[in-house]
Amino acid sequence: MANIISDETIEYVGILAKLELSDGEREQAKSDMGRMLDYIDKLGELDTTDVEPMSHVFPVQNVFREDVVTNGDDREQLLSNAPQEKNGMFMAPKTFE
């Protein structure tokens, strides 16, 4: 395997991805990601000098519209999906003491 994923890298990816891995999962993830990157490295065979990266197939542009509210008041329904709510608001765990 050409790409060796270090403990530090997988720790960093865990922070970016907001995922917490068990020891077993971490080892599996290191090996899976290494193999995937080895495979993706195939793209390096192609010369892409002067090729414009293509994020969209069609030349999409910003689509503007007037900022007018079209939906009704659906706060109750939206909150009914929340794991915790209080006084008409989403409730999150404490972020500071």
Partner 1 sequence: MKITDMTAVQLSAAIKVGKATAVEAAEAVLSQIEREDKKYNCYVTVDREGALAQAKSVQEQIEAGTLTGPLAGVPVALKDNLCTEGLLTTCSSKILHNFVPTYTAAAVKNLKKAGAVILGKTNMDEFAMGSTTETSAYGPTKNPRNPEHVPGGSSGGSAAAVAAGECIYAIGSDTGGSIRQPASYCGVVGMKPTYGTVSRYGLIAYGSSLDQIGPLTKDVSDCATVLEVLASHDEKDSTSVARDDTDFTSALTEDVAGLRIGIPNDYLGEGLDGEVKTAVLQAAEALEKKGAIVERFDLSLVDYAIPAYYTIAAAEASSNLERFDGIKYGYRAKEYEGLHNMYKKSRSEGFGEEVKRRIMLGSFVLSSGYYDAYYLKALKVKALIKKAFDEAFAKYDIILGPVAPTTAPKLGESLTDPIQMYLGDIYTIAVNLAGLPGISVPCGQDGKGLPIGLQMIGDCFQEKKLIRAAYTYELCEKKF
Report the interface residues with partner 1, using CB under 8 A.
9-10, 12-14, 16-21, 25, 29, 32-33, 35-37, 39-46, 48, 51-58, 60, 62-63, 65, 71, 74, 77-78, 80-84, 90, 92-95
Minimum distance from residue 2 beta carbon to partner 1 (Å): 13
Minimum distance from residue 66 beta carbon to partner 1 (Å): 11
R_g of the chain computed on alpha carbons = 23
Residues 6+ apart with CB under 8 A from 14: 20, 21
Minimum distance from residue 93 beta carbon to partner 1 (Å): 5
Assess contact for 33 and 10: CB atoms under 8 A. yes
Burial group, residue 30, by CB count within 10 angstroms (0-12, 13-18, 19+): buried
